A and B are shown apart, each in its own frame.
Chain A
Amino acid sequence: MFPAAFDYRSPAALEDVLDSLAAYGDEAKVLAGGMSLIPMMKLRFASPEVLVDLGRVPGLDAVQETPDGLRIGALVRHAELEASELLRQRYPVMAAAAPLIADPLVRNRGTLVGSLAHADPAGDWGSVMLALNAEVVARSTAGQRVIPVREFFTGPFSTVLQPTEVAVEVRVPRPSSRSGGTYLKLERKVGDFATVGVAAHLELDNERIGRAGLALTAVGGHNVVAAEAEEVLAGAEPGPEVFAEAAEAAARAADPPSDVRGSADYKRQVVRTYVRRGLARSLELAQAA
């Protein structure tokens, strides 16, 4: 597979990246891990004239925890998140998702931020970030803006990011101390995109559910929040009954295509099952916290 000809820039400063994007606009593409962009170029589905590689830009490769939560830079790879002890302790939904993304080779290169920017409806991080109410920080020569992930995706492979913008980091709010979460993914084999994925996050407020985050992978034009299900859960007493009710609501939020992976009915059934199982597991973790 041989891509069409392109120019390659690899600036050592973010400002230069932003200048290049401002200069080339639509004709340029940001290159992060390259795990989605390079295959598309090799298949000639994408033929950007200029690639602007983030690889040499300093300061984008850190995972930092602040009192407000996590900051994950644009060059943080899936593999680093998979290995993170911090995530296992305080961000279990992220810890559960990381090892389910792609295969070990792709995880060594691909980035969380790139995954959000790519906006594949079957991408896993999108749902996880929706469930956790994360924000994307975007920079351009015009300045910086902070975009809630819940307002970020606009359709398959499209987001509110402008061609001149770089997503420099993702911010994940710190969950309450009595919280738990998990990510469940149905895949046909390791390295497969999700047939269905469910990100679940529960925060307990006394013995009731405080905030619940629930988002779905591969069942719509982009990762979707199961909003009705979140409302069913908020303030309710946790347990099988309300989880089943939330599962039904989540299944209604799913609008999956019928394809070789299964019918829409089947996929909704998997949503239902995984929401129930995901919530039960989240509750276990929250109660143990």
Chain B
Amino acid sequence: MTTTMPGPEIHGLGHSMKRKEDDRFVRGRGTYIEDVVLPRMLHMALLRSPLAHARIASIDPSAAAELPGVVAVVTGADLAAHNLAWMPTLSGDTQAVLATDKVRFQGQEVAAVVAEDPYVARDALELIEVDYEELPAVVDPHAALRPAAPVIRDDKEGQDTNLAYTWEAGDKAAADAAFAQADVVVSLDTHYPRCHPSPMETCGCVADVNAATGKATIYMTSQAPHAHRTLFAMVAGLPEQNIQIKTVDIGGGFGNKVPIYPGYVVATAASLLLDRPVKWIEDRTENLISTGFARDYHMHGELALNRDGRMLGLRVSMVSDQGAFFADAQPSKCRAGLFHIVTGSYDLTAAHVTGRGAYTNKAPGGVAYRCSFRVTEASFLIERLVQNAAYELGIDPAELRRLNFIRPEQFPYQSATGFLYDSGNYPAALQKALDAVGYDELRREQAEGRAQGKLMGIGIASFTEVVGAGPHKDYDIAGIKMFDSAELRVHPTGKAILKIGVQTQGQGHETTFAQIVANELRIPAEDVLVQYGDTDNTPYGLGTYASRSTPTAGAATAVVSRKLLDKGRKIAAHVLECSPDDLEWQSGRFVVKGTPEQAVTIQDVAFAAYTNHPDDLEAGLEGVTYYDPPNMTYPFGTYVVVVDVDPETGVWTVRRAVAVDDCGVRINPMIVEGQLHGGLAEGYGIAAMQLITFDEQGNCIGSNFMDYLLPTSWETPRFETYAMETPSPHHPLGAKGVGESATVGSPAAYVNAVIDALTHLGVRNIDMPVTSAKVWQAIQQASP
């Protein structure tokens, strides 16, 4: 029996251990869908509609079918014969798999070719003859909601308008009463533009439905493999035990890989019909024009204040542009996600929020692109409103925030729209950011510079996130409750395998989750293998999006580790021939109280679990936990951005970008920082350059990376990041989610900075993306 301390570093909480997965990624040895090659595999390509709105008069696939190398051409009519022409969306709507009656957006899936190689498949697409009768395109969501607008969803019984949903939160009477007492009402109309998650790997699958075994193995870019398996079972009528989803490595998701896309369904159907594996991989343009977009909220906000800056009430009305199918990836009760978190970091006791969704002739989506269900739009709106209110009242924007923050002693805080904020310290985060940036000095410089015509601005955003869905009573996806799971087995030699129900797409689960086990059991993180993404071999879970992995499966991992430790104590007592109560857990060892030389390590205990377990216990050291979080977690922070604006061209450059983030206890600070850097860069991209727009005919502009711009390391600002740790009171580790904080919080900071540079000219709003042209235009209009 050894009693020495375990030799290697444990790498528990707070260690910036290097990511275990990076070894294979930096060597180019990851396995993505394109790398999956199966015997007898065929290749599928999709024919997409060139028009935004048209009736399909006829489809003639015969010439395509005759091209040598083509194995099959699939149309909506073929799918309809198997009841697969339509599929349910995650928001309870239906979506065409392959169009049968009409096409409803440019890029919609119309037919598929399955061929021996991908070149032939694409050659054949050009031979399919589709006769379209063009219909007027509905592009503007406000116009879509007017009575005279052509009805896009005439496929739906009783749907005689383009209204996709209505929704409200908060208390209208209370909000109206607050406004009646206000000295000042500040309002803002702004459009959070349509943007796209744009993961490096586009969506795709290899569907292998084997008639001989009855097994359907689907390699798929999926952020939620278990939920997708269940949906496949329900939609395609395949027995669930015969469906296996395997994700292999995923080259980024950002919400893009939460929905089920027509391509997956058609490839699976084709494999079923042809009894051969079928690979489908979209190209970049297909990804940008047809898969889940994000945002596209047209928002009107009004903030009521009294003269000395106290916020009294908030009213928000919103129109969301849903595209042709209402396919937001969100909990089923939430028509507008968690947009009602729009009261933000402020003690706003009266609020009322309404929303209407409009069908338009655009791609469906509304995925939570690095945003836990529409929190990004909410955070942007309130932070922009607060900034404008400060100008209106002549109060410094930092001061106005401080005056209205929910105070640290008010937590847990019940918000006017129904959230119970778990913990926070907003004034401290603000102060830390202001100190870091040198706020007072910058304000002095700004005032002096203005006298010389220099344009410099300081933008603040003090955001509050809400992540980690969720308590089962409030949150489910298509009826499946949003718990999550972890299954842990410690092997005889003291090495462990952890299987989780969530799904990494680059977030570093293989490292972070190993560190949680290490922290609890003091088994070195190097000795813990983390597995996910194979539905046959991992416990059921809802997947990774909305910053939920650490709050849910992370908690499950801690809980299951503790269960094993309880059992370990009994085994240790058996080995040491004492009572479990006589043992003390000391960092990796059970020690007999008062006799420190009598001890066993966790590795000894693991060995004994298989070689010398007590009679009244089962052998093994293994367990599974399904964790239902009691509440969401509420990460927060303050970002301060400083910009210089060229008055002659409107070009703005970021001088400083300071980020103070509090996501509770940090498991791997390096990974947390990485998430923050990524989000700050993406927030910059959204604020500065990203836009998927449409012309009047509904043609999508922004269908490649020359038009839809992603910031690179060249133009991305240098970030100065700072940490605070206010633990979550209900999470077993005190951790909160962090994957999305920076995308949620930062866009408002960039925009506020540009507006702040121009505020003395009377400029109060520029919609994103804040292009140099728009800035110049605003300057022209402000000072003619």
Give the interface of A toward B (CB within 8 A).
1-2, 4-5, 43, 103, 186, 188-193, 195, 260-263, 266, 269-270, 273
- A2-B122, A5-B119, A270-B649 known; A261 and B771 CB under 8 Å? yes
- A1-B283, A4-B123, A260-B701 known; A269 and B771 CB under 8 Å? no
Q: Which residues of B contact A270 (CB under 8 A)?
A: 649
Asked if B689 is at the interface (CB within 8 A of a chain A CB), the reply is yes
Extra inter-chain contacts (20) besides given A1-B284, A188-B689, CB under 8 Å: A1-B283, A2-B118, A2-B119, A5-B119, A103-B714, A186-B649, A186-B651, A186-B772, A188-B688, A188-B709, A190-B712, A191-B712, A192-B709, A195-B772, A260-B691, A262-B772, A263-B773, A266-B776, A270-B649, A273-B649
Q: Can you list 28 pairs linking A and B with CB atoms under 8 Å apart?
A: A1-B283, A1-B284, A2-B118, A2-B119, A2-B122, A5-B119, A103-B712, A186-B772, A188-B688, A188-B689, A189-B712, A190-B712, A190-B714, A190-B715, A191-B712, A193-B706, A260-B707, A262-B771, A262-B772, A262-B773, A262-B776, A263-B777, A266-B650, A266-B773, A266-B776, A266-B777, A270-B649, A273-B649
A192 touches B706 (CB 8 A): yes
Instruction: Name the contact of A261 in the complex, choosing from B122, B649, B712, B773 (C-beta under 8 A).
Output: B773
1/0 contact trace for B636-657 toward A, CB 8 Å?
Answer: 0000000000001111000000
Taking the closest CB of chain A, its distance from the CB of B700, in whole angstroms, is: 12
Asked if B598 is at the interface (CB within 8 A of a chain A CB), the reply is no
Q: Which residues of B contact A192 (CB under 8 A)?
A: 706, 709
Asked if B693 is at the interface (CB within 8 A of a chain A CB), the reply is yes
Q: Which residues of B contact A103 (CB under 8 A)?
A: 712, 714
Q: How far is the CA of A188 from the CA of B705 in the complex (A)?
A: 12
Q: Which residues of A contact B773 (CB under 8 A)?
A: 195, 261-263, 266
Among the interface residues B285, B649, B706, B771, which one has the most CB atoms of the partner chain A within 10 A? B649
Taking the closest CB of chain B, its distance from the CB of A240, in whole angstroms, is: 14
A269 touches B715 (CB 8 A): no
From 480 to 533 in chain B, residues with beta carbon under 8 angstroms from any chain A beta carbon are: none
4 tightest Cβ-Cβ pairs between the two chains A and B: A262-B773, A190-B714, A266-B773, A273-B648
Q: Which residues of A contact B771 (CB under 8 A)?
A: 188, 260-262
Q: Which residues of B contact A269 (CB under 8 A)?
A: 648-649, 776
Asked if B717 is at the interface (CB within 8 A of a chain A CB), the reply is no
Q: Which residues of A contact B651 (CB under 8 A)?
A: 186
A260 touches B693 (CB 8 A): yes
B691 touches A189 (CB 8 A): no
Q: How far is the CA of A232 from the CA of B29 in the complex (A)?
A: 61
Residue of B nearest to A259 (CB): B701
Residue of B nearest to A277 (CB): B648
Taking the closest CB of chain A, its distance from the CB of B695, in whole angstroms, is: 10
Taking the closest CB of chain A, its distance from the CB of B497, in whole angstroms, is: 40
Asked if B711 is at the interface (CB within 8 A of a chain A CB), the reply is yes
Q: How far is the CA of A108 from the CA of B701 in the complex (A)?
A: 29
From 667 to 696 in chain B, residues with beta carbon under 8 angstroms from any chain A beta carbon are: 688-689, 691, 693
Q: How far is the CA of A43 from the CA of B690 in the complex (A)?
A: 22
Q: How far is the CA of A273 from the CA of B651 in the complex (A)?
A: 12
Q: Which residues of A contact B284 (CB under 8 A)?
A: 1
Q: How far is the CA of A263 from the CA of B776 in the complex (A)?
A: 10
Q: Which residues of B contact A266 (CB under 8 A)?
A: 650, 773, 776-777
- A2-B122, A260-B693, A273-B649 known; A189 and B715 CB under 8 Å? yes
Taking the closest CB of chain A, its distance from the CB of B34, in whole angstroms, is: 13
| Count of CB-CB pairs between chains A and B under 8 Å | 58
Q: How far is the CA of A193 from the CA of B706 in the complex (A)?
A: 8
Taking the closest CB of chain B, its distance from the CB of A235, in whole angstroms, is: 28
Residue of B nearest to A266 (CB): B773
Residue of A nearest to B119 (CB): A2
Q: Which residues of B contact A4 (CB under 8 A)?
A: 123
Taking the closest CB of chain B, its distance from the CB of A4, in whole angstroms, is: 7
Residue of A nearest to B689 (CB): A188
Residue of A nearest to B714 (CB): A190
Taking the closest CB of chain B, its distance from the CB of A99, in whole angstroms, is: 11
Q: How far is the CA of A191 from the CA of B715 in the complex (A)?
A: 10
Taking the closest CB of chain A, its distance from the CB of B701, in whole angstroms, is: 7
From 81 to 119 in chain B, residues with beta carbon under 8 angstroms from any chain A beta carbon are: 118-119
Q: How far is the CA of A4 from the CA of B67 in the complex (A)?
A: 14
Q: Which residues of B contact A188 (CB under 8 A)?
A: 688-689, 709, 771
Q: Which residues of A contact B711 (CB under 8 A)?
A: 189
Taking the closest CB of chain B, its distance from the CB of A275, in whole angstroms, is: 12
Residue of B nearest to A104 (CB): B714
Q: How far is the CA of A1 from the CA of B709 in the complex (A)?
A: 19
Taking the closest CB of chain A, its distance from the CB of B84, in whole angstroms, is: 27
Residue of A nearest to B123 (CB): A4
Q: How far is the CA of A263 from the CA of B397 in the complex (A)?
A: 32
Q: Which residues of B contact A273 (CB under 8 A)?
A: 648-649
Q: Which residues of B contact A1 (CB under 8 A)?
A: 283-285
Q: How far is the CA of A5 from the CA of B119 in the complex (A)?
A: 8
Q: Which residues of A contact B709 (CB under 8 A)?
A: 188-189, 192
Residue of A nearest to B707 (CB): A260
Q: Which residues of A contact B715 (CB under 8 A)?
A: 189-190
1/0 contact trace for B119-158 toward A, CB 8 Å?
Answer: 1001100000000000000000000000000000000000
B776 touches A189 (CB 8 A): no
Q: How far is the CA of A97 from the CA of B707 in the complex (A)?
A: 22
Among the interface residues A2, A5, A192, A263, which one has the most CB atoms of the partner chain B within 10 A? A2
Residue of B nearest to A273 (CB): B648
Taking the closest CB of chain B, its distance from the CB of A184, in whole angstroms, is: 10
Q: How far is the CA of A201 from the CA of B575 in the complex (A)?
A: 87
Taking the closest CB of chain B, its distance from the CB of A285, in whole angstroms, is: 21
Q: How far is the CA of A103 from the CA of B710 in the complex (A)?
A: 13
Q: Which residues of A contact B650 (CB under 8 A)?
A: 266
Q: How far is the CA of A191 from the CA of B704 in the complex (A)?
A: 13
Q: Which residues of A contact B285 (CB under 8 A)?
A: 1, 43
Q: How far is the CA of A43 from the CA of B705 in the complex (A)?
A: 13
Q: Which residues of B contact A260 (CB under 8 A)?
A: 691, 693, 701, 707, 771
1/0 contact trace for B219-246 toward A, CB 8 Å?
Answer: 0000000000000000000000000000
Taking the closest CB of chain A, its distance from the CB of B91, in whole angstroms, is: 30
Q: How far is the CA of A186 from the CA of B773 in the complex (A)?
A: 11
Q: Which residues of A contact B688 (CB under 8 A)?
A: 188
Q: Which residues of B contact A189 (CB under 8 A)?
A: 689, 709-712, 714-715
Q: Which residues of B contact A193 (CB under 8 A)?
A: 706
Residue of B nearest to A196 (CB): B649
Taking the closest CB of chain B, its distance from the CB of A137, in whole angstroms, is: 31
Q: Which residues of A contact B693 (CB under 8 A)?
A: 260
Residue of A nearest to B705 (CB): A191
Q: Which residues of B contact A190 (CB under 8 A)?
A: 712, 714-715
Residue of B nearest to A4 (CB): B123
Taking the closest CB of chain A, its distance from the CB of B550, in whole angstroms, is: 32
1/0 contact trace for B693-734 toward A, CB 8 Å?
Answer: 100000001000011011110110000000000000000000
Q: Which residues of B contact A263 (CB under 8 A)?
A: 773, 777
Taking the closest CB of chain A, its distance from the CB of B681, in whole angstroms, is: 12
Among the interface residues A4, A43, A263, A270, which one has the most CB atoms of the partner chain B within 10 A? A270
Q: How far is the CA of A190 from the CA of B651 in the complex (A)?
A: 14
Q: How far is the CA of A83 from the CA of B285 in the complex (A)?
A: 34
Q: Which residues of A contact B122 (CB under 8 A)?
A: 2
Q: How far is the CA of A257 from the CA of B174 in the complex (A)?
A: 50
Q: How far is the CA of A188 from the CA of B123 in the complex (A)?
A: 35
Q: How far is the CA of A7 from the CA of B256 in the complex (A)?
A: 38
Q: How far is the CA of A195 from the CA of B712 in the complex (A)?
A: 18
1/0 contact trace for B270-297 toward A, CB 8 Å?
Answer: 0000000000000111000000000000
Q: Which residues of A contact B118 (CB under 8 A)?
A: 2
Residue of A nearest to B648 (CB): A273
Among the interface residues A4, A5, A191, which one has the most CB atoms of the partner chain B within 10 A? A191
Residue of A nearest to B693 (CB): A260
Residue of A nearest to B716 (CB): A189
Q: How far is the CA of A269 from the CA of B693 in the complex (A)?
A: 25
Taking the closest CB of chain B, its distance from the CB of A70, in whole angstroms, is: 28
Taking the closest CB of chain A, its distance from the CB of B50, in whole angstroms, is: 13
